[in-house]
Amino acid sequence: AQTVTQSQPEMSVQEAETVTLSCTYDTSESDYYLFWYKQPPSRQMILVIRQEAYKQQNATENRFSVNFQKAAKSFSLKISDSQLGDAAMYFCAYRSAVSTGNQFYFGTGTSLTVIP
């Protein structure tokens, strides 16, 4: 089974600064999708950004961008101009593009604190 590793249980960033959350994964597949989800205190999972493995270009969504290194199986999330509302748990997730189950494999999460 695929595994997703987030090696930073907790991170903090000063408001308006930039922070990078790390994620690595292990798979033998060549076609898959990677996601970053945000889970605020409300516990609602919110999609932050996604990346298709066949695309070399890194995905960006406003202040959020990823550094996707397919050979290294690394998928980090960069949050620029951090805001207080960015404080949440962040989960990295993997999903196969070929298997019929299409289940998500989640990392253990990184708790992000934004310091005013």
Partner 1 sequence: GAVVSQHPSWVICKSGTSVKIECRSLDFQATTMFWYRQFPKQSLMLMATSNEGSKATYEQGVEKDKFLINHASLTLSTLTVTSAHPEDSSFYICSARYSGSKAYNEQFFGPGTRLTVL
C-alpha–C-alpha distance, residues 61 and 80, integer Å: 11
Residue closer to partner 1 by CB (options 21, 107) is 107
C-alpha–C-alpha distance, residues 106 and 116, integer Å: 29
Residue with tokens 């595994």: 3
- Nearest Cα residue to 83 out of 21, 14, 32: 14
Q: Which pairs count as long-range contacts for 61-65, CB under 8 Å and 24+ apart, including other chains? A: 64/36
Nearest distance in Å: CB 58, partner 1: 16
Nearest distance in Å: CB 13, partner 1: 19
Tell me which amino acid residue 102 is. N
Residue closer to partner 1 by CB (options 11, 80) is 11
The footprint of partner 1 (CB under 8 A) covers: 33, 37, 42-45, 47, 50, 52, 91, 95, 101-104, 106-109, 111
Nearest distance in Å: CB 109, partner 1: 5
Tell me which amino acid residue 100 is. T
Residue closer to partner 1 by CB (options 50, 78) is 50
Residue closer to partner 1 by CB (options 46, 115) is 46
Nearest distance in Å: CB 16, partner 1: 27
DSSP 8-state symbol, 71: T
